[in-house]
Structure 1
């Protein structure tokens, strides 16, 4: 029998909803929220989603599970007044420069004030003048606009597994800050921008480059060209009443030409190029049985994440540049002659769904003789603002064609914008290369979907290809640790930082509707279906590029222009502090991590206790105790390394017993490699890193 509750006087079936809020939305009642995101944990701080439950009183609907027989009212006079007061208090504590705020068109606070009829603020405004943090290459943080909803904190921790930003201080001094009060560019931010995507106000926004682009467009000596990423075309229409998922490539091209761009190309072309190079690289590794699994390298936030946290896995990353940077390198080589312009006067603008692309273009390896391969990166949001600034009636534009040769693409390049798209495009190439047969069925449903971690086994003739697809860096961390522990049988691992892939990038139009992401995803698959060519190797202009510029696929010239290298960006290296002077020949090495996260979990008290125990037990000449700053297990502290064995969530009693066992030679070897991690000797353990 179906369980029901009464919602505003009508019965509503309970069908697995985790809270009353989601059940109400299913029933067509939009309860206002400020801190609620279905993809994040329930926080319940804003108190806007209040409902009146008979027998219980007024409660937050986001944290109340639905129960059979409940009688729920969502729109009483008392609740409306409480919601208005909450909005007034938020506005009183908020910088109210709405007319000049870049988020004003998508500000949730502004929208809620309008919906709830708040036309005045009766409370004294709390004036603040905190400095704006603009030193991050991808994002701007304005603490004066922060309303402490915690959305950025949770997405950085729960979806990306980084925690670059968190709450600080207490009471009226509460704020959201990067670690130690540093700027956002000096901490472990990977520039993915998901914090800006979920921020309901203008406290976190993508860093704009609009004025720099207008300046170059106004310079008569310069030729400005654009490349359009796949995910942009299915999102830009949302801002002009055209809905989500429609292919607006033609109108985008027409708008850019109206603004003064000399030529407009498609990043899907260089995505096709990436497929050819990356698949060739993979097949070479597969043949030799080395550096597997191969991780994709298209997502700059993932590359940064790997450099920071998993430098030992960098040899496993594909050496291919991202499609954006491949386009830049190839365009610098081909376009000056084609457009009749000096190389120094060619300006390349990327239009991307991604904020991390802004940081990627600044990497020194992507510049030649001081000139970057890509000059500017505009997000989809910035493109929309430029169209509006230019007074262009987007809906009235007649679609225009992309320029050749760098505007021609296959469906394989287009689906790069979806999570799983890179893997699918590589399979379309690898199948024909390995088997020598034509691939008739080009869609691989096992590689598609919304799950954060997906697996597929694809048959390539007489062998099977094992692929894993992951989005969200917290999921990537889980998979990376399995690879480190030699517990993964994957051949290829595709990683994208943003949920859903590029279509869910932080530079896309702001939306709080989960269905929008699904519509964008399906939109790219529809573009693929409509195109005549679906495999990168079928692109005639890719073949021409190799013949005229790049030489052999995977050859020296191609490698020089289209590939790159990576380096460790681990922020702390072997910085140990010796705390006792053990001199015995066979001393037991002990390190206790005292980094910020561990300090908050009691590592200082544990270290003090362990030092006291060693001295009291007269073991000081047998034990070498050091404080370290990075065991890289920040969510599992306190951690202690004793004779190469890492103890997570370690207690004083556990540490004492393990030290004594190590001194007496009673510490048993653990199965699966050193530290019990399953590592077969990566060399990263027991070094006090």
Structure 2
């Protein structure tokens, strides 16, 4: 089927939404609540478009294409509707950007400039107070929750229910009086998916005491050290310290999803007690050694034990932090090189 968007004819597939088709063609439609990995939420009202033959503006995120459809994504009517939707979002949102963790990487900030709303804020025609209320308790101590900053996009509620399958969060109240509440804290697994999808500073990371703006930090892509799945994550580094973990949703095998260890268990990297070099016991003390020296020491000891007591005097314990391939090679080493079947696995972290 063929759909025309802003005068451009585009081949579309059955079941595709206008937003998906427009993005595939490089046509930008602003959104705040939209997430690819869950069904359309439709709470922000920013993705409205005109469809020929339709009297009302339609949400691009949930309107399915049909053959011959003619769509307009930019017009005075559309821009007015988007500005009004943005005004609704901003009416109760505090202008505490200088002290908000999300400043510089906040989707709401981006939309203010993208939709040309910055002049109204600069002129103070929208009376928005500074946030004075402290954070309230949340379902996990790894996250700070500022209800006053919430714009009720429902991303966190939807991703917890539909994607994670826990259903910890609910919306209490309606419209302007609505609020995200932790209804079932006992079901929270501290995965941080709600934190990852929050477009503003309502949910912020509460592990690192060091914070930094985007231009003050660098991102290092690495693999999570906690198990053998091999989840890819991004370490946010400032002042040579890991201050936060983020993800790239396009990268396998986890596609942006992490468990509590992967997302929040990064403090050990900065620990002063962390071992950074091999240690060899000499007399009653541990002495730093090079990797070559340490590996030679271990190999010599294994040869000595096997020669004096036989291969069954040696046992090998594998680790869940290694990949299946690493563990396979390890058990092969124990059986084929050492000559023993004394191999076990911790089976947990």
TM range, smaller chain: 0.5 to 0.7
Match of residue 55 from structure 1: 53
Match of residue 136 from structure 2: 133
Question: Mean Cα displacement is larger for which, 16-25 or 125-134?
Answer: 125-134
Which residue of the other structure, out of 156, 160, 164, is the alignment partner of 2:160?
A: 156
Q: Is the 8 A contact 1:33 1:48 kept in 2?
A: yes
Q: Is the 8 A contact 1:17 1:23 kept in 2?
A: no
Alignment of 1:161-176 (within 5 A): 161-176=165-180
Q: Is the 8 A contact 2:192 2:260 kept in 1?
A: no
Q: CA shift at 1:19, angstroms?
A: 0.6
| 3-state DSSP of counterpart to 2:323 | helix
Q: Is the counterpart of residue 230 in structure 1 residue 234 in structure 2? A: no
Q: CA shift at 1:81, angstroms?
A: 1.6
Cα displacement string for residues 566-625 of structure 1 (whole angstroms, at most 9, x for unaligned residues): xxxxxxxxxxxxxxxxxxxxxxxxxxxxxxxxxxxxxxxxxxxxxxxxxxxxxxxxxxxx
Match of residue 10 from structure 2: 12
Alignment of 1:47-86 (within 5 A): 47-57=45-55, 58-86=57-85
TM-score (ref. length: structure 2): 0.65
Match of residue 36 from structure 2: 38
Extract structure 1 runs of 4+ deviating beyond 4 A: 126-131, 231-237, 322-328, 330-338, 434-438, 552-555
Q: Is the 8 A contact 1:131 1:143 kept in 2?
A: no
Cα displacement string for residues 186-236 of structure 1 (whole angstroms, at most 9, x for unaligned residues): 543211111010000000111142349xxxxxxxxxxxxxxx962599765
Match of residue 182 from structure 2: 178
Match of residue 24 from structure 2: 26
RMSD across aligned C-alpha pairs, in angstroms?
4.6
Q: Is the 8 A contact 2:95 2:130 kept in 1?
A: no
Cα displacement string for residues 44-103 of structure 1 (whole angstroms, at most 9, x for unaligned residues): 111100110010131111110011101100001111121112112211210111121111
TM-score (ref. length: structure 1): 0.35
Alignment of 1:234-383 (within 5 A): 256=240, 301=260, 331=274
Q: Is the 8 A contact 2:95 2:131 kept in 1?
A: no
Match of residue 193 from structure 1: 192
In structure 1, C-alpha distance between the alignment counterparts of 2:290 and 2:95, rounded to whole Å = 47
Match of residue 433 from structure 1: 331
Match of residue 105 from structure 2: 106
In structure 2, C-alpha distance between the alignment counterparts of 1:73 and 1:323, rounded to whole Å = 46
In structure 1, C-alpha distance between the alignment counterparts of 2:343 and 2:223, rounded to whole Å = 24
Extract unaligned runs of 5+ from structure 2.
212-220, 226-230, 243-257, 295-319
| 3-state DSSP of counterpart to 1:84 | helix
| 3-state DSSP of counterpart to 2:58 | strand
Cα displacement string for residues 263-305 of structure 1 (whole angstroms, at most 9, x for unaligned residues): xxxxxxxxxxxxxxxxxxxxxxxxxxxxxxxxxxxx86499xx
Hey, which of these two has a bigger chunk of helix by percent?
A: 1
In structure 2, C-alpha distance between the alignment counterparts of 1:174 and 1:155, rounded to whole Å = 18
In structure 2, C-alpha distance between the alignment counterparts of 1:142 and 1:404, rounded to whole Å = 49
Match of residue 202 from structure 1: 201
Pair 1:324–1:431, CA change in 2 (3 A): farther
